[in-house]
Amino acid sequence: MRHVLTLFELSSAEIERIFIVAEDLKTKLQQGVREPILPGRVMALLFEKPSLRTRVSFEACMTHLGGATQFLGAEVGWGKRESIADFAGVLGQYVDVIVCRANQHARVEELARFSGCPVINGLTDLAHPCQALADLFTMREVFGGLAGRTLAYIGDANNVACSLAVACAKLGVRFAIASPRGYQFEEGFLKQLQQDSPKCEVTATTDPAKAVQDADAVYTDVWTSMGQEAEQEERRRAFAAYQVNADLMAQAPRHAIFLHCLPARRGEEVTDAVMDGPQSRVLQQAANRLHAQKGLLAWLLGSQG
């Protein structure tokens, strides 16, 4: 049994396999075919934080694939009414897979330890693997392949940035990140990345213009993630020079696309002109959450792995 708590747990070949299945299922859906490859399978969606994309795309995935979902919000009392171990041991007997969005990564790890069924991380403070799968799937779709491409990430070295860095390292994509001091990757993470993918090409700078100079994709995320609201003002000041706007996009190659995991705070990390401009692929990227996750589920639960 496999869990997907971070992308460190997947090999490059496994990610490529997920993309091939995702591509096939996306084409079929566009032709009106919803192949029920997971009949009767049940997914629990255990969420401690709000969500549009992750929740609804997983619900739609399971419906398309012939399975069902149950959404469990705060009222289920996870870790409050009973221990996480007891909760996981029970829930894992009712369902085939759990997607969990949690405040602390350690809670998802504990859930996985005791669940007896696969657990997929639907976002924690440390990682957002499903997002990065959809993002790299989008780049692969736009450019017809990934090897030798460069993704530039501007902003906070947060959960999304960490998962993107791992996905890029595994798929031969250069990763250039520009963040202010104090908001950069931790040394421990960079060491783990290097050990996991010795050939990875990661560059870190404080200069956004430098990061985007060879970019095929320019990516940003909110300056203040869920759970960091108390730091909002401080973060607005720290990231003021890190907005992705028309001036910054003009420093990137002309063919570069713009990506954002969404939700966006327009006027902060990105301007309307970039979000709605010709280089933006944010809607295609959001749509691909559905398709990439189908590939992931087929690999994890189906016979297509």
Q: Which of the residues are catalytic?
A: 101, 128, 131, 221, 261, 289
> Which span (113-121, 162-170, 220-228, 293-301) binds ligand NVA, by CB under 6 A?
220-228
Report the C-alpha gap between 211 and 213 in whole angstroms.
6
Judge contact between 257 and 281, C-beta under 8 A. Answer: yes
Which option in ligand NVA, ligand CP, none does residue 52 bind, with CB closer than 5 to 8 A by kind?
ligand CP
- Return the residue of 123, 162, 166, 301 that touches ligand CP, per CB under 6 A: 123
- Restricted to residues 53-82, the positions that interact with ligand CP (CB under 6 A) are 53-54
Q: Find the DSSP H helices in the chain.
A: 12-30, 53-64, 84-94, 105-115, 129-143, 159-171, 187-196, 208-212, 232-238, 246-249, 272-275, 282-301
Minimum distance from CB of 264 to ligand CP (Å)?
10
> Which span (32-40, 74-82, 155-163, 184-192) binds ligand NVA, by CB under 6 A?
155-163
Helix, strand, or coil (residue 76)? helix
| Interior angle at CA 64, CA 58 and CA 66, nearest 5 | 105
270 lies in the binding site for ligand NVA (CB under 6 A): no
Quick count: other Cβ atoms within 10 Å of Cβ 237? 11
Minimum distance from CB of 182 to ligand NVA (Å)?
17
Minimum distance from CB of 131 to ligand NVA (Å)?
6
- Return the residue of 20, 52, 106, 283 that touches ligand CP, per CB under 6 A: 52
Q: Kindly write out the interface string for residues 233-262 of this chain, putting x where it contacts ligand CP by CB under 6 A and - elsewhere.
A: ----------------------------xx
Report the C-alpha gap between 134 and 288 in whole angstroms.
5
Helix, strand, or coil (residue 132)? helix
Question: Interface residues with ligand CP (CB under 6 A)?
Answer: 51-54, 123, 131, 261-263
